Structure 1
């Protein structure tokens, strides 16, 4: 529900200076107006001189910390921050949360959560696990998320946090989610990056136009339609301009993951997060020809062949990405009890020397198993490793 910005900021001020504050974050920017700092975090801390308000601000390069006594010094600092054109305020107290987002028209969208929070213990270091995206965020209500989906979102965001640099780069951060489906992770990525002080411009791509319409309406409902847009089209052919910095491809089925990786390479995307799903292509090729000795028993059973095809497919993808100037980690990003498709390819471009052993290893694998990965076909032929004779 829209509120006047003056009234909403007055409510934020009362919470920041009240006795129940546990943590608050200001980040993002209003349309066309960047704040003087990219992010501010506030929390009470217990010092010898008594409780102070700690304010940590970042200009995008390094943080600055101030511990201010309660009263006039803290009030003046809070008023300065409230005067900054931040696009988002997130305030946690012992009795609930308040989420304030400024729309492109300068109105305030306010969401309040009533989930009780544990009282902060400023002088201690043992804390309950903190989710990277507030469980009371209106996104979760909009998508009907249960506790399991919240955990999946948190696991994804932790993988994203481990991939991107800290602090985040200044200026617009362009993100594309290929095969975004219902886009709950697309929105989660936007929320997290905006709260971190980035200026994310996110595009979701899905082949279904009804998903585009649904997701576009949800972006308007969540107040981020200027920053999160959707297009209908295939992963291989959808128009995305300008090229993104970060490419997401989460549970794109079978060779759709290869199409996403090929587009990321062609864009020279700085970061890639891909969670593969359904490895049918290599499995089908393994069924069509005998396995090299002595690996016949490895693929004689259907279930073992399918599982080996999963491993071989993602090994070839990671090795080929390394041959194209990406550092690649293959990690488990969430416990298998939540989803059996829990492997994540996490890639960062640059800083990788053109090491012949990457191409040699790839060429020997495809030659020995007599397979032609779809990713190899999709990438430029003059940049492919030559099979070893």
Structure 2
């Protein structure tokens, strides 16, 4: 049941100053209000000078961290944060977890649960280190926080972390093509901003209602100045300037090819694409006999479809290599959770394809008598976006 906000914040304050505090996060914003920072995180640390309360805040692009002494200094710092119009608080102590959400009417919804000690590490700091984005982060209150979604978010962020260098110089411009409801878009922004990256992110989706929904969510999170959305097709949406990183996560069938082609034309430095559905090559395989001795490979419909998936992504990786990208095809999410679990990860090197690489690609398409959609897109006289 809702309760007065002041009373709820008093309970939060008690836990924030409790010696058993392990971690707390404040994020989001109340209706019609905007905090001076987009996120605050508190946790106890032990320094040479003794125990301190570490407070890390972020303005959406760069973090700021300070350590305050227990007592009056910590109390004043906590009071200042509680006075900010955050929409969500998540507080963990050794004994309990408390979540506060401010409703549209300005009341508080509180949920308190006993700490889950099953399988916990000795330190409260260690419980969440398995995830790159803490499962208790208030962002999950907005995008959904089921166990399956948290696993997918974490798998994606690990792939993102493995793609980008440890240190990024200058701003990073990211475009998510075919972003849908954008929960991975928002997760990417949260993760990169927490790393201290100066990131600006644009989501593209063909549906205007998705653009409105995602824009409203960015405003609620206080990120509207760094995360924006446009309605349009992957091939034609206006995105300026060209991005450094292109995401295309589960864009269906040849929409993945359109995203890859646009990334190549943009000369984007990095590409992460999780293909979904592979009808184009599958349809071509159905119209012609398989080259010998592979008739058994395509005679059965289910085997032909699966082979088409593999052939499609192998050709995509080969084409990216021919256009100056170092490309890997890796597992995205464990296959127990989804059969669409491949990720094409590419980094532009500006290297020139060798004769052997060109021959490998040409021999494969000639043998199977197919022409990938991505090859057609890359040879068309299309604008660069």
Please give the TM-score of this superposition, normalised by the length of structure 1: 0.74
How far did residue 275 of structure 1 move? 0.5
Q: C-alpha root-mean-square deviation of aligned residues, in Å?
A: 4.8
Aligned equivalent of 2:323: 324
- 1:213 is aligned to 2:212: yes
Unpaired runs of 5+ residues, structure 2, are: 1-9, 28-36, 58-64, 102-107
- 1:25 touches 1:195 (CA, 8 Å); kept in 2? no
How far did residue 135 of structure 1 move? 2.6
Structure 1 residues 190 and 12 mapped into 2: Cα distance closer, same or farther (>3 Å)? farther
Aligned equivalent of 2:165: 165
Aligned equivalent of 2:131: 131
Aligned equivalent of 2:337: 338
Aligned equivalent of 2:148: 148
Aligned equivalent of 2:366: 367
Structure 1 residues 372 and 271 mapped into 2: Cα distance closer, same or farther (>3 Å)? same
Task: Give runs of aligned pairs for residues 375-386 of structure 1, distance below 5 A.
Answer: 375-380=374-379
How far did residue 93 of structure 1 move? 3.4
Q: Measure the CA separation in 2 of the matches of 1:144 and 1:97.
A: 18
Deviations 1:115-170 (A, max 9, x none): 65568978899756532223333433334442222221222112112211213433
Aligned equivalent of 2:34: none
Aligned equivalent of 1:356: 355
Q: Secondary structure at the match of 2:344?
A: strand
Aligned equivalent of 1:241: 240
Aligned length: 365
Aligned equivalent of 1:258: 257
Deviations 1:15-66 (A, max 9, x none): 7775234357899xxxxxxx9xxx9987545689975668999xxxxxxx99
Deviations 1:285-318 (A, max 9, x none): 1111111111111111100000000000000001
Q: Secondary structure at the match of 1:379?
A: helix
Q: Measure the CA separation in 2 of the matches of 1:176 and 1:338.
A: 26
Q: Measure the CA separation in 2 of the matches of 1:332 and 1:346.
A: 10
Aligned equivalent of 2:229: 230
- 1:252 touches 1:276 (CA, 8 Å); kept in 2? yes
Task: Give runs of aligned pairs for residues 165-314 of structure 1, distance below 5 A.
Answer: 165-171=165-171, 173-314=172-313
- 2:99 touches 2:112 (CA, 8 Å); kept in 1? no
How far did residue 344 of structure 1 move? 0.5
Structure 1 residues 215 and 306 mapped into 2: Cα distance closer, same or farther (>3 Å)? same
Q: Measure the CA separation in 2 of the matches of 1:138 and 1:352.
A: 42
Deviations 1:193-215 (A, max 9, x none): 12221222111111111211222
- 1:180 touches 1:204 (CA, 8 Å); kept in 2? yes
- 2:205 touches 2:211 (CA, 8 Å); kept in 1? yes
How far did residue 227 of structure 1 move? 1.5
Q: Measure the CA separation in 1 of the matches of 2:12 and 2:194.
A: 16
- 1:138 touches 1:222 (CA, 8 Å); kept in 2? no
Q: Which moved more, 1:213-222 or 1:292-301?
A: 213-222
How far did residue 284 of structure 1 move? 0.7
How far did residue 380 of structure 1 move? 3.6
Q: Measure the CA separation in 2 of the matches of 1:306 and 1:233.
A: 30
- 1:96 touches 1:112 (CA, 8 Å); kept in 2? no
How far did residue 68 of structure 1 move? 9.5
